[in-house]
Amino acid sequence: MASSPALQTLCCELVEEYYGDFYRTLFECLSQGGRLTTTQVAQKCHLPLRQVKAGLAGLIQLRLINHHTVSDSPSTYSANLTNAYNTIRAGKLIQAAHMYYDELAAEIVETLCELGFATISEVRDRVLSSSNVVEAGNVHLIEHRIQELLEDQVLTHLRLAHFSEAYDTRRDYELIDTSAVQLAKLSGTKAKQEHADRVEAGYRNLVSTTKSESGYTNDEYLSTIDKTSSNGVNGMTNGYHKPIPVLLQPNLHKIVSLAQETCAADIATEIFGRTAGTVLRCAIRQVASSNVWIEQPSEYIHLIDLQVLKDDVNVERQNQTGTDSRIAKAKLNGHSGTTEENDLRLGEIERQLASLAEGPFRFLSSGAAGSSFFIDKDKLDSYMRREEMLQAMDSKFQAPAPRILRVLIDKGKLEEKTLQEIGLLGAKELRQCLLMLKQMGYLDLQEVPRNPQRQPNQTVFLWFHDAKRVSNIILENTYTTIARLIALLKLERQKLASTLIKVDRADVRGREEQMLSAAEYTVLLRHRKLEEWIWGEIHRLDSTVAILRDS
């Protein structure tokens, strides 16, 4: 993730909001100072070395910082802005687990979000001790739910390489791989390319979340969960019969695909209706990329499985109408099954997809016979970024600025006169709007001289829209807005500090209406409503970040 002052400030605010002032001090020191040793952190923070070491260990457990250790030098630590920002998405992932599975799945995800990462036995023990859903001793139900969450990549494996920076992981692989070392000694373009490809392949293998640290894939690992748990061994074994712990982590990158589904479904619902929106949501869910650690190939076309799509759409429609049927309960032998009389038939699903393919959704296409449909992931990401960017600009500017921006996005570089004719605008109004957008960074101007003298009357001035730069501007403004909302929340808590301290007492918690006065209880309800609104706005803004930056 590219670092920026606004993002660093936001991440520090989030660390303080979730984990307290002490962790915020250490994290802020690392985010501003870069890679530091424990001694340097202690000097900059003016804290005892022993206290700093304990704090850094806690931050590593929470996956908020990376560390790197070599044999001949002290360990160094650096802030992980990606994971620090992703803490804001924990609530969304827990809510999604509860919606698409059940309360037990939500408790498992919540436990891993609190711990950062854990072994299966740790998750099982924590859930058994605190859950009101699972009966004591019902271990197999928890393990079965973990299997489902791993299959759908709501949970993923944690690898040792995830604790280090990408540069350090690649460098370490170069040192231990003899073939890579030999290729590095050779000269020539072909040898350098082979060396780079081999290092990249080794790096992808080290950070792949579909494998555990022992090298087992998800399918191989899932088939051995019952054996390892029944034998009391929480992990696989290597060649020396030494247990290798299997670590699990919540896949907070799953929120990106959920944001894409929601945005595309809202657009389809507005144009074609609710049924079409549900069909498109379930179709996009089939091609959602869930691996946060390695970039997937930017161009690939996914064939939609119509039978699976039909089952998913019918289950989704039951959830929308309030039927007590969740996806996890509807799965039979790995596939969802419904028997409702009002379920959509396969022919209706195909007609809805055909209508969507003829609409504005360029990422969706149909086969020659019309009975097969495809989704281009690269076009899907581009379409979602474009729509999110247009929505952000529509909410920021008044007419005719959004119209001008849409014309330049669709047509490319244009002269002012051409833009005036296409946009049906007056010359004065257009010039004022263009100047405003230029000052704010949403438009830029290119000079194309007709002769070497570059005379103004012999120069063509072309207005254009730089999507990448505008996206960065929107992201910076979004980071700043979220940070200000968190600061507003802290200010509101300070105003009611005495009441909130009283509410946090064990004898008052859950009995606020009886233990507080009428005035205090009214103020508390107003504060909770404001807090709920602020977090709702933060999660709405996070959807913009997920689509513009992470998709």
Question: Which structure tokens are listed for 345?
Answer: 């038939």
Banded pLDDT at 291 (limits 50, 70, 90): very low
SS (H, E, C) 360-401: CCCCEEECCCCCCEEEEHHHHHHHHHHHHHHHHHHHHCCCCH
Sign (positive or negative) of CA dihedral 63, 64, 70, 75: negative
> What residue type is assigned to position 252 of the chain?
L
Q: Of 145-149, 200-204, 399-403, which range is least confident?
A: 200-204
Banded pLDDT at 300 (limits 50, 70, 90): low
Hunting for tokens 């990106």 — which residue is that? 256
Question: Which structure tokens are listed for 525?
Answer: 């309800």
Segment holding 463, helix H or strand E: strand 459-464
Banded pLDDT at 286 (limits 50, 70, 90): confident
214 vs 208: CA distance, rounded Å? 12
Q: Between 214 and 98, whose confidence is greater? A: 98
Reduce the DSSP state of residue 116 to 3 states and report it: coil
Within 8 A by CB and 6+ apart from 53, the residues are: 38
Give the pLDDT score at 319.
73
pLDDT at 492 over 90: yes
CB 254 within 8 A of CB 96: yes
In the chain, % of residues over pLDDT 90: 31
pLDDT tens profile 10-60? 999 999 999 999 999 999 999 999 899 999 999 999 999 999 999 999 999
Question: Which structure tokens are listed for 241?
Answer: 């019969």
Distance linking the first and last C-alpha atoms of the chain: 12
For domain 5-79, say whether CATH 2.40.50.1070 is its number.
Answer: no
Q: Mean pLDDT, to the nearest integer, of 187-216?
A: 74
260 vs 262: CA distance, rounded Å? 5
Give the pLDDT score at 186.
66
Q: Of 79-83, 151-155, 364-368, which range is least confident?
A: 364-368
The CA-based diameter of the chain, rounded to the nearest angstrom, is 86
Give the residue among 374, 413, 545 at the shortest CA–CA distance from 1. Answer: 545
The values of phi and psi at residue 464, to 5°, are -150, 165
Report residue 435 CA to chain centroid gap: 35
527 vs 538: CA distance, rounded Å? 16
> What residue type is assigned to position 437 of the chain?
L
Q: Between 97 and 454, whose confidence is greater? A: 97
The values of phi and psi at residue 461, to 5°, are -105, 120
pLDDT at 325 over 50: no
Banded pLDDT at 488 (limits 50, 70, 90): very high
456: alpha, beta or left, given left = phi > 0 and alpha = psi -120 to 50? alpha
Give the pLDDT score at 308.
86
pLDDT at 232 over 90: no
Per-residue b or e along 45-68, where b marks 16 or more CB atoms closer than 10 Å to that residue's CB? bebeeeebeebbebbbebbbbbbb
Banded pLDDT at 476 (limits 50, 70, 90): very high
